[in-house]
């Protein structure tokens, strides 16, 4: 579980670091805000900050095995919003900027929510794993609610007609 959490969590955290800090040749918050504007998300600076830090923090929570369903739910919410607003129109495969990675990250998040984080996790050390009884239902509800809130709180602009 630790190796799987590290692979998925570090990949997601790195993806978020591209957007938050321009790490790994990423766009940084300014570039991410420009992308959000092009997608019709307003206020784009705030939406960029929320989306970028969501990816960074959800990945780190997975790596640490901390917070039960919170990290997986946050990861799923980001992938739902990105999948719907950016990738769905391109089909499935990531080679054509489709939803493939969104599906894979979401499936991994559901797996961690289902199985827990394992013996080598902060949840286990802190005794939180025994207190979280329905992580899958919680992760699905939180992920869906967070994705819906982000979509609802942003004012979607209609693209200009040519």
pLDDT in the model for residue 162: 45
On whether residue 138 sits in a domain, the answer given is: yes
Q: How confident is the model at residue 130 (pLDDT cuts 50, 70, 90)?
A: confident
Q: How confident is the model at residue 133 (pLDDT cuts 50, 70, 90)?
A: low
On whether residue 80 sits in a domain, the answer given is: yes
End-to-end CA distance of the chain: 51
What are the tens digits of pLDDT across the range 18-72?
A: 999 999 999 999 999 999 999 988 899 999 999 999 999 999 999 999 998 889 9
Q: Tell me how far the alpha carbon of residue 85 is from its chain's centroid.
A: 14
Q: How many structural domains is the chain composed of?
A: 1
On whether residue 87 sits in a domain, the answer given is: yes
At 78 the three-state DSSP class reads helix
What are the tens digits of pLDDT across the range 134-156?
A: 566 677 777 777 777 777 766 55
What are the tens digits of pLDDT across the range 63-115?
A: 999 998 889 989 999 999 999 899 999 999 999 999 999 999 999 998 998 88
On whether residue 158 sits in a domain, the answer given is: no
The domain in which residue 33 lies consists of: 2-153
Q: Are 135 and 69 in contact (CB under 8 A)?
A: yes
Q: How far apart are CA 4 and CA 22, in angstroms?
A: 25
On whether residue 59 sits in a domain, the answer given is: yes
């Amino acid at each position: 579980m630790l190796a799987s959490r590290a692979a998925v969590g570090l990949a997601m955290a790195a993806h978020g670091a591209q957007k938050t800090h321009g790490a790994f040749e990423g766009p940084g918050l300014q570039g991410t805000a420009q992308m959000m504007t092009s997608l019709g998300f307003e206020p784009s600076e705030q939406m960029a900050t929320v989306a970028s830090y969501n990816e960074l923090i959800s990945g780190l929570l997975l790596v640490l095995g901390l917070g039960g369903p919170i990290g997986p739910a946050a990861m799923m919410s980001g992938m739902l919003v990105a999948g719907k607003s950016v990738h769905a129109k391109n089909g499935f495969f990531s080679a054509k900027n489709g939803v493939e990675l969104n599906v894979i990250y979401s499936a991994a998040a559901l797996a961690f929510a289902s199985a827990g984080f394992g013996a080598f996790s902060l949840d286990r050390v802190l005794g939180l794993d025994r207190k979280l009884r329905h992580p899958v239902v919680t992760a699905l509800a939180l992920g869906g609610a967070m994705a819906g809130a982000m979509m609802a709180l942003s004012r979607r602009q209609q693209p200009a007609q040519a």
